Amino acid sequence: VLKLFKLLHRTRQEVFKSDTRALEAARRKINEEFRNNQDETSEERISELLKIASDVEVILRTSVIQAVHKDSDKIVLIPRKDLLQDNTPYLDKPTKK
- Alpha carbon 32 to chain centroid, angstroms: 17
Question: Exposed/middle/buried for 19, CB within 10 Å: 0-12, 13-18, 19+?
Answer: middle
Max Cα–Cα distance, the chain, nearest Å: 60
| pLDDT tens by residue, the chain, 97 residues | 999 999 999 999 999 988 899 999 999 999 999 999 999 999 999 999 999 999 999 999 888 888 888 888 898 888 777 777 677 777 777 677 6
The pLDDT assigned to 72 comes to 84
Which of 1, 23, 7 lies closest to 61 in space, CA to CA? Answer: 7
CA 9 to chain centre: 10
Instruction: Kindly report whether the global pTM for this prediction surpasses the value 0.85.
Output: no
Buried b (16+ CB within 10 A) or exposed e, 54-70: eebbeebbeebeeeeee
Q: What is the pLDDT of residue 37?
A: 92
